[in-house]
Structure 1
Amino acid sequence: MAEIAARTGPPTKSMAVPLAGFTAGAVVALLVGVFGKIHEPTTSGTTTLGYGTVIEMKVVVSTAIGVLAVVQVIGALGIYGKLGIRAPSWLGTAHRTTGIIALGLSVFVSYHCLWTLGLESGKFHDGTPVPARVVVHGVLGCAVIGAIATKVVAVRSRRAPGWFLPVAGGLLFTLLMAAVLTSAVWYIGAKGWPTPGG
């Protein structure tokens, strides 16, 4: 009987899960970066969602992603009991739903970034130097996709140590906000809020 209980008890925590998660994230980020470097940028197969350019559309959607990321952090703090109030019963469902939406929008924006712009460094095709902000943003974008892979491993694993999910989530949030700051927030500060059809 004890042997059956041992086999059906809680899963054993393993450091192999975070190691695999971080390794998978690093490999995904690297592959995305390589693709961004070798892919010839094109607007074919993209959408502007009614905005004047793909970049304007990305600014609007990236801002929404930033808001959803903040909502995710607040939801996680509530679920972990760090807000000093009892979490309502619907919070877990709302947290998962906003997370799925943020994930879907992040992949959508990343696709448009890589497909229409690629991963720029050195000089543009016309010979002008690529600004440091653009290089940093491109690297951050690749890292975000890698961090998404790591977070998915953390969420799906029952054998991961308790610290893995909050660390993976914190890493994703930090990289995502840095990517939004170096793109959407910079754009809004420099050129204002995009308008549809503008």
Structure 2
Amino acid sequence: MADTATSPHKSLGVPLTAFAAGAVVAVALGVFSRFHDATLDGTTTLGFADVRDMKVVLSVVIGVLAIGQVVGALWIYGKLGIRAPAWLGKAHRASGTAALVLSVFVGYHCIWAFGFQTGTVHGYDVPPRAIVHEVVACGVFGAVVVKVVAVRSRRAPGWFLPVAGGLLFALLIVVVLTSAGWYLDEKGWPSR
């Protein structure tokens, strides 16, 4: 039995509140994206041929960082059977921050330049892959909210952090595969 004087009370309220807040963020992004007038004004290509090419390259980087996050977390928590070096925690936080910053950058360009598209756009039917991508991409930012709460909370149950991290990882991988993965399969690596 845990000593309640030295350990904080674990509460289901923390994950429930985090999931509710994450859902609000995801839905709000989806609604804004759907009703925002998509434009290339206010976007950048970072020297690539167009916004899509830039997003593909950065999405691949995000996917690699996400895989590194899972490996790092497993290593830090002793699940790989080898002792984690002292620098790994800082590297894990830095790569997670980099993945988040890049995700916000790519997400901004998705929402601003393309919006949430359904039905027929410019005479073309929006494919189911693109709709799945749009829905799951909004979910990524909701999952970021959940993950940040999980990392920061001392009152959350022990299962909350791995569930939050796993959810974020799964959503990121689906987003990367339904965008960059599809693009690379169809068109190959973007040129500069």
Same fold (TM over 0.5): yes
Q: 1:7 offset after TM fit, Å?
A: 8.4
Task: List runs of 5+ in structure 2 lacking aligned partners.
Answer: none
1:165-194 deviation digits (Å, cap 9, x = unpaired):
100000000000000000001101100101
Normalising by structure 2, we get a TM-score of 0.96
Is residue 83 of structure 1 aligned with residue 80 of structure 2?
Answer: yes
Q: 1:9 offset after TM fit, Å?
A: 2.3
Match of 1:46 in 2: 43
SS in structure 1 at match of 2:11: coil
Cα-Cα RMSD: 1.1
For residue 185 of structure 1, the aligned residue among 174, 181, 185 is: 181
| Counterpart residue identity of residue 111, structure 1 | Y
1:87-139 deviation digits (Å, cap 9, x = unpaired):
11111111111000001101110000000000111111x23211111111111
SS in structure 1 at match of 2:124: coil
| Counterpart residue identity of residue 135, structure 1 | I
| Counterpart residue identity of residue 23, structure 1 | A
Q: 1:86 offset after TM fit, Å?
A: 0.7
Match of 2:168 in 1: 172
Percent identity, please: 62
Q: 1:108-119 residue pairs with structure 2 within 5 A?
A: 108-119=105-116
Task: List runs of 5+ in structure 1 lacking aligned partners.
Answer: 1-5
- C-alpha distance in structure 2 between counterparts of 1:68 and 1:127, whole Å: 36
Q: 1:13-28 residue pairs with structure 2 within 5 A?
A: 13-28=10-25
Q: 1:4-19 residue pairs with structure 2 within 5 A?
A: 9-19=6-16
Q: 1:30-41 residue pairs with structure 2 within 5 A?
A: 30-41=27-38
- C-alpha distance in structure 2 between counterparts of 1:105 and 1:8, whole Å: 42
Q: 1:34-183 residue pairs with structure 2 within 5 A?
A: 34-124=31-121, 126-183=122-179
- C-alpha distance in structure 1 between counterparts of 2:176 and 2:66, whole Å: 10
Q: 1:74 offset after TM fit, Å?
A: 0.3
| Counterpart residue identity of residue 165, structure 2 | G
Aligned length: 190
| Counterpart residue identity of residue 80, structure 2 | L
